[in-house]
Amino acid sequence: MKALVLGSGAREHALAKKIGESSRCERVFCHPGNAGLFRDRIEKANLPRAAGAVEVARFCQENAIELAVVGPETLLGQGYADELRRAGVRVVGPNSSAARLETSKLFAKEFMGEFGIPTAPHMVVHSWEELTGFTLSRFPLVLKYDGLAAGKGVVIASSAADIVAFAQRVFKDAEFGKPPHTILIEDFVDGTEISYIGLCDGECFVALESATDYKRIFDDGEGPNTGGMGAVSPSPFLTSDLKAVIEETIVAPIVRGLKTRKLAYNGALFIGLMISRGRPLVLEFNVRFGDPETQAILMRLESDLVDLLWATADGKLSALPPPLWSKDMSVYVVATAEGYPGKPTGGDTIQGLESTLHSSQLFSAGIDKLGDSWVTGGGRILGVGAKAATVASAREIAYKSLSNIGWRGMHFRTDIGKGI
């Protein structure tokens, strides 16, 4: 069979590479991809970079694509999965209605409230006046932009000045577009974060291995949030008892809610959890594979990924045996362009891209080709991961590989997996 992965980042690189390793897969395409991932025997789809859903569906029909994986949440929100299904393609990715679990934080909060899914209390504001006039006797609190914001729409406010600064970004600087805007104000919940990712076909949820990601730009959790600076798998914080509680109090109500609301969901479901005083609370939903968690998780998958994706698209997950996983631990480290996550630079020559050690894996995100040179495209440029019997060993391999690569202003955290 032939497969298509939609997206351009390291997550899509990892998915396409793993799909291509399946004995069931004849060819795997990616669109739009990035120059770096096409080094990995992944084919470039013959489509304009900004191809709409109808064009992508036509490409699938003309090229006998049987399975499509929609990576980015923006495409899911725009109905790409809906259009591909209408064209007769098996799709891993929910329809646009179900995608609101991620594309609208308010929709997600209302969904959780209706079906008794534990989450932090919140209130909603819609204007500069409401947000800057909000008073609270205690800090910190969490401010969330309702729509998609590429990982930059959540702020932990420690003072009234932080609230004003966020209001400035939203209502004055129009960082997230033109109004109207909706902001959620949540109680801050302290604890340990776990990324609980699985495949869901609307009737059944199959958990993948767990992961913990590192969201802040600097070591020790300092600096602004990013799309993710690294991950380890499995999460060192997930016990079998805690997993049972998550399945009972969070996963089961989610599946019940999808069925009750008749939300067609055939895709990956990322549940961002905070474990606070031993109790799991939902921070957010992502309606697709996480990035960078997917890279760390797929390095440990021993089952055929195509089997899992096919069953997800067909609504037959319950017929599969549980997926098999390596007992090794994995560590994945992200390297970014100078200025990320604010105003990253691009066009810098990348040195050492071909020198990644055989014992590690490199997944590209913001890599372009200029003549015979590899250059940075801005943002998160690439990530290097490794698996080993211990986190310390996997860290050593990953960081050794990363040390052979460089460009002007290259930045990465040095503490991914440290102390685990």
The residue among 319, 354, 384 that closes a domain is: 319
User: Per the domain annotation, does 87 fall within a domain?
Assistant: yes
Task: Provide the pLDDT for residue 358.
Answer: 72
Q: Is the dihedral of CA 280, 282, 285, 290 positive or negative?
A: negative
Residue 419 in domain: no
Rounded to the nearest integer, the mean pLDDT of the chain is: 95
228, 311: one domain: yes
What's the token pair of residue 174?
């129009």
Take residue 267 and report the two structure tokens written for it: 């895709």
Confidence check: pLDDT of 326 > 80: yes
- Percent of the chain residues topping a pLDDT of 70: 99
Please tell me the predicted confidence (pLDDT) of residue 136.
66
Higher pLDDT, residue 310 or 39: 310
| Whether 350 and 403 share a structural domain | yes
Distance CA 343, CA 313 (A): 38
Measured CA to CA in angstroms, residue 345 lies from 219, 377, 408, 410 at distances of 21, 8, 10, 10
Position 354 scores a pLDDT of 82
Cα 335 to its chain centre, rounded Å, is: 16
What is the pLDDT at residue 356? 77
Residues 173 and 217 in one domain: no
Contact indicator for 337, 348 with CB cutoff of 8 Å: yes
| pLDDT above 90 for 198 | yes
Q: Does any domain span residue 284?
A: yes
What was the pLDDT predicted at 149?
83
The answer to whether residue 75 is domain-embedded is: yes
Handedness of CA 15, 17, 21, 23 (dihedral sign): positive
Residues 300 and 344 in one domain: no
Question: pTM higher than 0.85 for the full model?
Answer: yes
Of residues 286 and 360, the one with the higher pLDDT is 286
Output the six-digit token pair for 354.
């071909």
129 and 167 housed in the same domain? yes
Same domain, 177 and 198: no
Domain CATH number, residue 88:
3.40.50.20
Same domain, 178 and 201: no
Question: Is the Cβ–Cβ distance between 226 and 341 less than 8 Å?
Answer: yes
Q: What is the pLDDT of residue 224?
A: 87
Nearest to 405 by CA among 340, 336, 359: 336
At 48-107, the pLDDT tens digits run 999 999 999 999 999 999 999 999 999 999 999 999 999 999 999 999 999 999 999 999
Cα separation, 420 vs 417, whole angstroms = 6
Q: Which segment of 59-63, 265-269, 358-362, 410-414 scores lowest on mean pLDDT?
A: 358-362
Cα–Cα distance, 22 to 188 (Å, whole number): 43
Residue 419: which of 219, 255, 242 has the closest Cα?
A: 219
- In angstroms, what CA-CA distances link 29 with 6, 48, 142, 250? 9, 14, 40, 35
What is the tens place of the pLDDT at every residue in 211-254?
999 999 999 999 988 989 999 999 999 999 999 999 999 999 99
Question: 118-176: per-residue pLDDT in tens?
Answer: 999 999 999 999 998 876 667 899 999 998 887 778 888 999 899 999 999 999 999 99
Put residue 278 in one of left, alpha, beta given phi > 0 → left and psi -120 to 50 → alpha.
left
Nearest partner of 353 among 45, 14, 37, 44, judged by Cα: 37
Q: Are residues 229 and 241 in the same domain?
A: yes
Q: What digits encode the pLDDT tens for the residues 273-305?
A: 999 998 999 999 999 999 999 999 999 999 999
| Other Cβ atoms within 10 Å of 380 Cβ, number | 25
Does a cis peptide bond (omega within 30 degrees of 0) precede residue 234? yes
How many domains does the chain contain in total? 4
Residue 213 lies in a domain: yes
Do 302 and 337 share a structural domain?
A: no
Q: Is residue 108 part of a domain?
A: no
Same domain, 53 and 76: yes
Residues 197 and 278 in one domain: yes
- Closest to 179 (Cα-Cα) out of 144, 153, 141, 147: 147
Q: What is the pLDDT of residue 137?
A: 67
CATH number of the domain to which 339 belongs: 3.90.600.10
- Is 420 part of a structural domain of the chain? no
Q: Is residue 399 part of a domain?
A: yes
296-333 core/surface letters (b: 16 or more CB in 10 A; e: else) = bbbbbbeebbbebbbbbbeeebeebeebeeeebbbbbb
Residue with tokens 């939203």: 170
Q: Are 68 and 83 a contacting pair, CB within 8 Å?
A: no
User: How many C-beta atoms lie closer than 10 Å to residue 25's C-beta?
Assistant: 19
pLDDT reported for residue 208: 97
Cβ contacts of residue 393 below 8 Å, gap of 6+? none
3-state helix, strand, coil split of the chain in percent (to 5) is 30, 30, 40
pLDDT(117) > 70 = yes
Same domain, 200 and 163: no
Domain finish residue from 187, 221, 236: 187
User: Which of 148, 170, 187 is the C-terminal boundary of a domain?
Assistant: 187
| Residue numbers of the domain that contains 376 | 329-412
DSSP class of residue 111 equals: H
Is 259 in contact with 70 (CB distance < 8 Å)? no
Q: In this structure, are residues 348 and 409 in contact, taking their beta carbons and an 8 Å threshold?
A: yes
323: preceding bond cis by omega (within 30 degrees):
no
